[in-house]
Amino acid sequence: MKKTKVSITREKRTRDYVPEGFISFSDEDMEGIIQLHNDALVNSILINKSQVKRILIDPGSSANIICWKVVEQLGLLDQIVPAAWVLNGFKMACETTKGDITLPVNTAGIVQHTKFYVMNGEMRYNALFGRPWVHNMREVPSTLHQILKFLTSEGIKIIHGEQPIAKEIFAVEEATPAPTRTYGR
């Protein structure tokens, strides 16, 4: 029986496009934020050269999602690649996509072509930017500070969240029962 020895070497990846440095958050980053809060991180971002409001930044999501109505308003329905993907959501609820589309996303001057799954139906936001977008942009989001930070060749870019919009989108209203009237006998 002949034995063969195998060795594996790994090359260290270099990132010459990212400057030396690190990203951190401080109390100064929270200036102007309504405290105490539990708000999601919501922004307006340029998608296909149009400002799209109510974009949820969710690093907990494994997909980028865009609403059918947004693609329709952008006049890009013909660019949707038909495909039925099943996405699992909260409580493992399944939703089937109408297809996918790749769109240019301009974030603070950095343009990245991003693949979105197109969903038809009502959502509280127009698009959801998940881990694929966050990782490709090398962004570090902070819901506490309501900002995104990422390194560029010019230094650290900061994008502030839109906390009032987040409060509006995810508002929880307490249902108040109508007062009961008692009539005299």
Give all strands (DSSP E) within 79-119, no chain letters: 86-88, 94-96, 99-107, 110-119
Q: Which DSSP category does 78 fall into?
A: G
pTM confidence score = 0.76
* Tokens representing residue 19 in the block: 């400057």
Residue with tokens 């038909």: 82
pLDDT digits over 53-98, tens only?
999 999 989 999 999 999 999 999 999 999 887 777 656 677 778 8
Per-residue pLDDT averaged across 19-43, rounded? 84
Residue 129: closest CA among 151, 103, 152: 103
What's the rounded Cα separation, in Å, for the pair 89 and 62? 10
Pairing mode, if any, of strands 127-129 and 155-160?
Answer: unpaired
Domains of the chain and CATH, by start: 31-169 (2.40.70.10)
Least confident segment among 10-14, 83-87, 112-116: 10-14
Q: Which DSSP category does 91 fall into?
A: G
What's the rounded Cα separation, in Å, for the pair 57 and 129? 5
* Tokens representing residue 134 in the block: 């966050």
Q: How confident is the model at residue 135 (pLDDT cuts 50, 70, 90)?
A: very high
Q: What is the CA radius of gyration of the chain?
A: 22
Locate all alpha helices (DSSP H) within the chain, ordered by sequence: 68-73, 131-137, 163-169
What's the rounded Cα separation, in Å, for the pair 107 and 153? 14
